[in-house]
Each structure stands twice: as structure tokens, then as C-alpha cells.
Amino acid sequence: MATRQAASGTVRAGIGGWTYEPWRDNFYPKGLAHSKELAFASAHLTAIEVNGTYYSTFKPPTFAKWRDETPDGFMFSLKANRFATNRKVLADAGESIERFVGSGLSELGPKLGPLVWQFAPTKLFDPVDFEAFLKLLPGKVDGLPLRHALDVRHNSFMDPAYLALARKYRCATVFTDSDDYPSFADLTADFVYARLMRTDPKVKTGYAPKALDRWAEAAKTWAAGGEPADVPRLEGPGKKAGPRDVFMYFISGAKERAPAAAMALIERLNKAVPA
């Protein structure tokens, strides 16, 4: 189940995808049918980020199937199709955005989490073109509210002007715990999106216990509307806001350790919830 603190948003923790060969000997029970892997993963985690939607277009029955195979309260974050973000002129992305959003996402219903718009590491921040792109992002699909997360990967985005645009259009800027991409956690929306990419193959739970304790505390602080003091930001702390939903994914790094890391984080969060 998702974890909710008193007077706070909901914290969800998960992994990227659910079909990964090494998970079949350290996460999934031996002999588990591949068709049962989503049901198993969603019973032990509270969210999954789908990477397949970045490369391919899925149809409504697929989203409906995912919805029906997962428990109440579970959520999917969907990575937007690359044709919308991997282009020279972002202002021309309207047709690709419409095709992705209209591909059947609404079949997920309340299980539809944020849409992640991931930009290439070579994509530089152009304020005019980037704002033109943000204007194209729809607020709803089939009456279902949409939340947008911006995964920017070039250092030129470490600019207050970028944060101002993200806030203007109520998009979260993805916090990436990594040395390979810009890593800043300024709050720009009513939810937080974090991708934790430092899982260590030598650590059974991916992250060391103290690091997991730290991220659990950060998640609770974000969910309560605050800003963790030890997480990097571009700007100084802002005013404390209302409760925020938090999505934390263990992605990349030692991917084989990602499920254990997510479950260890969920365990820490659940201990903090009064019975």
C-alpha cells in the first residue's frame, strides 16, 4: 500500500519497469510465470516507472490490462514518447504530444501517475522554445487530470529561468541522484519526482542503511510540504507549502538491486505511519 503521513501527501516508491532478467533470481520467486511479474511487483512496491512508452506506442487495452493486474492505490509513471522530446525545435512537438497522451493513458484511471518528459543530455535550455513546449502539455485527458515531470539532463538547465518556467506551468523538475546529470531538487509543482541512481551491486539493499534512512526522511519532509536540508537545490529554501505526493524510483545504477532498495525504503516509511 502507498504510505501516507499525517497531514502529508502520499509517498510511493518503486522501480523502472518489471521485466528484467536478473530480477528472476533475486526478486521474483523461482519459476514465476513472466505474465505474473507485474502482479507480483505491484504487490511489493507502490509504483513503477514505465520506460517502454518512451520507445513504443501502446494501445488502450494494454493500459487497461496493467490497471486490472495491480492493486488499488498503485500508480504508473509513464515516460513520454521520445518523438516529443528528442527534437531540435520543441515548439513543433504538438502532434507527438497529442499522439502520446491520446494513446489510451486514461485507461489507467486513478493509477495514472506523472508523465515524465525526458530530454536528451545534449539538449540545451532555450527559454523561448522550452516555454513553447510547456504550453503544449495538456492539463487533462478524457477528464483525468495530468501531472507532468521534466527530466532535464544538460547543465544549462541549472538556471533560475528554467525553474521559473517549471513553476509557471506547474511541472515538477525531476531530482536525479546521480553524478551523470544535473542534480537539483527545487520544488516547482505540487508533487515531487525523484530518480535515485546510485544503487551499489555490493549492497544487498542497493543503498546502505544510512542512505535509505536519509531518503526516507527526505520523502517524509517533501510529503509534508518542506524541503530536506541535505538535498541539493539551485535556489534557497522556499516557503513551506501544502502536502505533496512524492514519487521515488530506484533507477539505473545496479539495477538488479533496485527492488530491494525500493522495498527497504517502503519498510522505513511504513514504520513511521501510526497504526
pLDDT tens for 195-223 read: 999 999 999 999 999 999 999 999 999 99
Which domain covers residue 63, as residue numbers?
3-271
Q: What is the pLDDT of residue 3?
A: 64
pLDDT tens for 218-272 read: 999 999 999 999 999 999 776 667 899 999 999 988 999 999 999 999 999 998 6
Q: Would you give the end-to-end CA distance of the chain in angstroms?
A: 14
pLDDT(191) > 90: yes
Q: What is the pLDDT of residue 6?
A: 47
| Number of domains, the chain | 1
Q: What is the pLDDT of residue 195?
A: 97
Closest CA to 57 of 106, 115, 97, 100: 100
> Are the C-beta atoms of 160 and 234 separated by less than 8 Å?
yes
CATH of the domain at 52: 3.20.20.410
Band of the pLDDT at 275, cuts 50, 70, 90? very low
C-alpha torsion angle, residues 85, 88, 92, 98 (rounded to 10): -20
pLDDT(42) > 90: yes
Q: What is the pLDDT of residue 125?
A: 98
Q: What is the pLDDT of residue 8?
A: 78
Count how many residues are written for the chain: 275
Q: Provide the mean pLDDT of the chain.
A: 94
